[in-house]
């Protein structure tokens, strides 16, 4: 297993006929109908060594789940005999690389970590996802121990496209939760905020720059959209109407922009308009911030004593409620296989290994969540869990109030860019009604273009 630079684009990709022929070869004898992954004689049909000696290239996105997988790759190579080369890049750069590679049809990427909340509709419409349903139904390709039905219902729904194809095997469902300095809260006799009003009041109580800032969340264009969407939901708004029209100029949207931009303008560290999750997490881990909310799986680094100055001092809680309801924005991620790959068989072996129960247990022990339902109650996980009990509880409770954190549309990246610019301008002092009027116009133009 070795890490290498992303392959150059431009080499000949597989033709559609070649892809279909490959799919037919590996799915010969596949059962029709619903997935049944446990059956008599299945163990005799499947072998983890089937593709021993072959190699695959994986494109990871930098995040705690990928970090964990990269450390476990030697185990995969030993179990399967499949050699792995990989690259990992920050989210935006990784997505740009994927788009360039797939557009060129190079076939250089076999497997990638797909953020479905951004890529699902766009990549599917472009024909870049291999349909993994054919492999799941093939007893020679899927281990009898895999247990597809152990995946959370929301996770299975997230990887399923409108035509019924399956674009990836679920890695995890990522609800957003609140991270707070429990030591500082205890000093003031406070419990985690239960409402948006509480959160704003607590931020003001703790705000004492430059030694401590009351609050931080994403300010960077595009990255800030899902953070604002949660406030939009909590105040009774939505990014789309029921008939799929833009809905980001409503009174609820204006109030949510006032609240979110105002919180960052008044209580966040300087330069927050350029903060993605990495900068927010870094400021929080350095002890500079009292409250921060983001994806639950970013939390494992907070408990790392070598990286975090606040290890053991962090509390985890469900996000507070607003007048419009109680929600947690959720985002789904999966291991996907390129339709252009000439190594779909060994690539699928990696995908099922990375999302197996055994791997999920190792992820939970490392402080990274899982899309599987059974592993949360595994005895080893309960006995050796890296993360505190309140982290697990916040994770599970947030799934119960989960709501898609971004519109499931082809133009989701354009939406994020449009609303992201509006948020940045509002943080810098522009009026919410004015920036949202422009955003509404641009967002509807995107919908008219991409959602036909």
**CATH number, residue 233:** 3.40.190.10
Domain count, the chain: 2
**Bond into 397 cis (ω within 30):** no
| Inside any domain, residue 401 | no
Q: What percent of the chain has pLDDT above 90?
A: 76
Burial of residue 25 (CB within 10 Å: 0-12, 13-18, 19+) is exposed
Higher per-residue pLDDT: 158 or 207: 207
Dist. CA 393–CA 6, nearest whole Å: 39
Please tell me whether residues 233 and 358 are part of one structural domain: no
Residue 434 pLDDT > 50, yes or no?
yes
User: Exposed e or buried b for every residue in 388-406, given b needs 16+ CB within 10 A?
Assistant: bebbbebbeebbebbebbb
Please tell me whether residues 339 and 361 are part of one structural domain: yes
| Inside any domain, residue 431 | yes
Please tell me whether residues 370 and 228 are part of one structural domain: no
The answer to whether 107 and 14 have CB atoms below 8 angstroms apart is yes
What integer pLDDT is reported at residue 35 of this predicted model? 41
Please tell me whether residues 26 and 142 are part of one structural domain: yes
Could you tell me whether strands 314-317 and 169-181 are parallel, antiparallel, or unpaired per DSSP bridges? antiparallel
Q: What is the pLDDT of residues 356-372, one digit of tens each?
A: 999 999 998 888 888 89
| Inside any domain, residue 399 | no
Question: Which residue in the block uniquely carries the two structure tokens 């609140």?
Answer: 178
| Inside any domain, residue 270 | yes
| Inside any domain, residue 393 | no
What integer pLDDT is reported at residue 2 of this predicted model? 59
Residue 82 pLDDT > 90, yes or no?
yes
3-state DSSP assignment of residue 188: coil
- Taking CB atoms within 8 Å and a gap of at least 24, the contacts of 198-201 are 198/320, 199/263, 199/291, 199/320, 200/259, 200/263
Q: What is the pLDDT of residues 187-213, one digit of tens each?
A: 999 999 999 999 999 999 999 999 999
Please tell me whether residues 61 and 143 are part of one structural domain: yes
What integer pLDDT is reported at residue 40 of this predicted model? 38
Boundaries of domain holding 438: 174-330+406-450
Higher per-residue pLDDT: 73 or 451: 73
| Inside any domain, residue 246 | yes
Please tell me whether residues 317 and 340 are part of one structural domain: no
Residue 422 pLDDT > 90, yes or no?
yes
Mean pLDDT of 365-394: 88
Please tell me whether residues 369 and 415 are part of one structural domain: no
| Inside any domain, residue 392 | no
Residue 233 pLDDT > 50, yes or no?
yes
Please tell me whether residues 378 and 418 are part of one structural domain: no
Please tell me whether residues 204 and 128 are part of one structural domain: no
Please tell me whether residues 431 and 287 are part of one structural domain: yes
- If pLDDT is split at 50, 70 and 90, which confidence band does 265 have? very high
Kindly report the average pLDDT of the chain as a whole number. 89
- If pLDDT is split at 50, 70 and 90, which confidence band does 154 have? confident
Please tell me whether residues 292 and 338 are part of one structural domain: no
| Inside any domain, residue 130 | yes
What integer pLDDT is reported at residue 356 of this predicted model? 97
Please tell me whether residues 340 and 263 are part of one structural domain: no
């Amino acid at each position: 297993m070795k890490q290498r630079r992303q392959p150059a684009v431009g080499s000949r990709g597989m033709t559609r006929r070649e892809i279909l022929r490959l799919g037919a070869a590996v799915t010969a004898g596949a059962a029709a109908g619903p997935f049944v992954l446990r059956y008599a004689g299945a163990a005799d049909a499947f072998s983890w060594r089937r593709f021993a000696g072959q190699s695959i290239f994986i494109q990871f996105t930098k995040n705690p789940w990928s970090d964990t997988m990269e450390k476990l790759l030697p185990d995969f190579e030993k179990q399967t005999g499949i050699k792995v080369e990989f690259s990992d890049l920050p989210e935006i750069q990784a997505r740009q690389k994927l788009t360039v590679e797939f557009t060129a049809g190079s076939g250089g990427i076999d497997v990638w970590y797909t953020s479905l909340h951004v890529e699902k509709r766009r990549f599917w419409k472009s024909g870049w996802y291999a349909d993994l349903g054919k492999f799941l139904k093939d007893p020679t390709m899927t281990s009898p121990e895999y247990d597809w039905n152990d995946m959370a219902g929301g996770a299975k729904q997230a990887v399923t496209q409108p035509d019924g194809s399956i674009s990836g095997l679920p890695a995890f469902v990522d609800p957003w939760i609140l991270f707070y300095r429990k030591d500082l809260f205890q000093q003031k006799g406070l419990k985690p905020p239960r409402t948006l009003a509480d959160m704003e009041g607590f931020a003001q109580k703790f705000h004492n720059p430059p030694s401590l800032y009351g609050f931080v969340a994403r300010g960077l264009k595009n990255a800030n959209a899902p953070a604002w969407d949660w406030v939009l939901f909590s105040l009774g708004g939505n990014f789309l109407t029921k008939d799929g029209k833009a809905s980001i100029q409503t009174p609820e949207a204006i109030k949510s922009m006032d609240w979110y931009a105002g919180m960052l303008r008044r209580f966040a560290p300087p330069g927050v308009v350029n903060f993605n999750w990495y900068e927010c997490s870094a400021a929080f881990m350095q002890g500079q911030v009292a409250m921060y909310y983001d994806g639950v799986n970013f939390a494992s680094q907070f408990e790392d004593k070598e990286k975090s100055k606040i290890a053991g001092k962090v509390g985890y809680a469900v996000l507070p409620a607003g007048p419009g309801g109680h929600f947690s924005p959720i985002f789904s991620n999966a291991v996907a296989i390129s339709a252009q790959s000439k190594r779909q068989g060994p690539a699928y072996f990696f995908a099922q290994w990375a999302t197996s129960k055994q791997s999920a247990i190792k992820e939970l022990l490392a402080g990274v969540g899982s899309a599987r339902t059974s592993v949360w109650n595994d005895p080893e996980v309960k006995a050796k869990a890296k993360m505190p009990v309140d982290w697990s509880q916040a994770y599970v409770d947030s799934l119960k109030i989960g709501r898609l954190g971004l519109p499931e549309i082809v133009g989701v990246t354009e939406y994020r860019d449009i609303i992201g610019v509006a948020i940045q301008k509002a943080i810098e002092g522009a009026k919410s009604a004015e920036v949202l009027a422009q955003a509404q116009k641009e967002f509807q133009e995107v919908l008219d273009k991409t959602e036909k």
